[in-house]
Amino acid sequence: MGESRLSTEPAQGPSPEQLDRYRRCAILHVDMDMFYVGVELLRTPQHRGKPVIVAGLGPRSVVLSASYEARKFGVNSAMPLVQARAACPHAVILEPHREDYTQYSGLVMAMFREITDRVEQLSVDEAFLDVSGAIRRLGPPAVIARRIRAEIEHRTGLTASVGVAENKTVAKIASAHCKPDGLLIVEPQHTLAFLAQLSLTALWGVGKRTAAVLQGAGLSTVGDIAATPVTRLRSLVGDAAGHHLHQLANGHDPRAVTPVRAEKSLGAERTFDRDISDTAQLKRVLLGLSHDTAARLRRHGLRAERVGLKLRYADFSTVSRSRTLSHPITSAHDLYAESTALLDHVGPRKQSVRLLGVRAEKLAASGDALQLSLDGREEEWGAAEQAMDRVHHRFGPGVLRPAKLLGPAVPNQAAKDILDDT
């Protein structure tokens, strides 16, 4: 898309006044463009410029990502693949390679940390950066943003869009506004004018229901919200939400870029092509999900103090259960034991299961003080699974598995497990 700016730039080095101005507008939001599609196209460059959808091939698969060419046909992430195929029947379907996403995400985040230690990673493909401390070394935020975009493309072959502003809200909106492959700088004196023209749905916290309420009251833009008395907004959407939206619409967001984002939970879930009613099959799936989740706990240096189970039935009704543990755990063995116990406590099932998930909750750093299990089983299983991690790292995932997971794959797997952070 190129570069846009709502600012002026000096012809020579910054004066003290200009340096102060740069530091007041030094928050960057970097968002990779169609990240999953972009990574897949590195493997299959012959599909560049075509409508591309990244998704599993099962009948219940959903779209993980879509190229901009596919989005023109109404294809969006989280859309059922069947619906996406109907909207864009000539699209190229590429299966996801999740290990590649982790690798490229790590490369990109490492580049950010070469620029500044104030990096707040939001997901695998986006982050906030506070570059105020790097200005003397690297130049104005606009120069730093251009350098980041150029380095990402040079080192990975991927593109990113960057918003530069005085706070996180405006920077994030700016990066979305200049996609794809763009740069937009919004200086403080232009913030209100920039926000005023946007649809009210551009603000964080304005979902479909809130938008409907605000639009029903005659509001349609961020400028409308900014001009509405906060008492009126509170009467429409509640005290907290009304105050929050009024602040954002007027360009106020005091949140700092926080380098460490605490993980609240880690989990894995699986949707089946055909619903499962057999308890033994469900427990076998739980074993695989427990190993996926435990490996991620160890990779992040975390332990779980609570385990959660999620069941979605054929009629889409969902049951969630959790239990707090006597001591923190990190091994798949204990995650599996706790999750199967939760499954047994759910009781008789009148319907077959469409989706099954495991979550590790109430996370704490492995190095924190903790109460060890009395018999040492957690430590023994943890050591064994760490050895399994080392084998997987050297020879690839899946080469070493529990005996219960050997043999024919569990049928009805719609797609690869969904692994998510919250």
Q: Residue type for 110, please?
A: A
Residue 166: C-alpha distances to residues 18, 27, 399 (Å): 14, 6, 49
Helix (H) or strand (E) holding 84: helix 81-87
Residue 260: C-alpha distances to residues 128, 264, 266, 420 (Å): 11, 12, 16, 17
As given in the structure block, the two tokens for residue 293 are 């989740």
| Residue listed under structure tokens 């870029």 | 257
Instruction: List Cβ neighbours of 7 (8 Å cut-off, separation of 6 or more).
Output: 25, 142, 185, 186, 187, 190
Q: Residue type for 268, please?
A: A
Which is it for the CA torsion 348, 349, 353, 359, positive or negative? Answer: negative
Peptide bond into 259 cis (omega under 30): no
The Cα angle at residue 397 between residues 276 and 58, in degrees rounded to 5: 35
Cα separation, 268 vs 52, whole angstroms: 26
Q: Is 253 labelled as part of a ligand binding site?
A: no
Cα separation, 26 vs 141, whole angstroms: 6
- Is residue 126 part of the annotated active site? The answer reads yes
Strand segments (E) across 58-156: 65-66, 92-94, 119-123, 126-130
Single out the catalytic residue among 120, 126, 361, 378: 126
Q: Is 125 labelled as part of a ligand binding site?
A: yes
The Cα angle at residue 297 between residues 294 and 303, in degrees rounded to 5: 100
CB < 8 Å & 24+ apart, contacts of 348-351: 349/277, 349/311, 349/313, 351/275, 351/277, 351/313, 351/314, 351/315, 351/317
Short-list 296, 295, 300, 307, CA closest to 365: 300
Point out the residues that are catalytic.
Answer: 126
Annotated binding residues for Mg(2+), written as ranges, equal 31, 125
Annotated binding residues, written as ranges, equal 31, 125
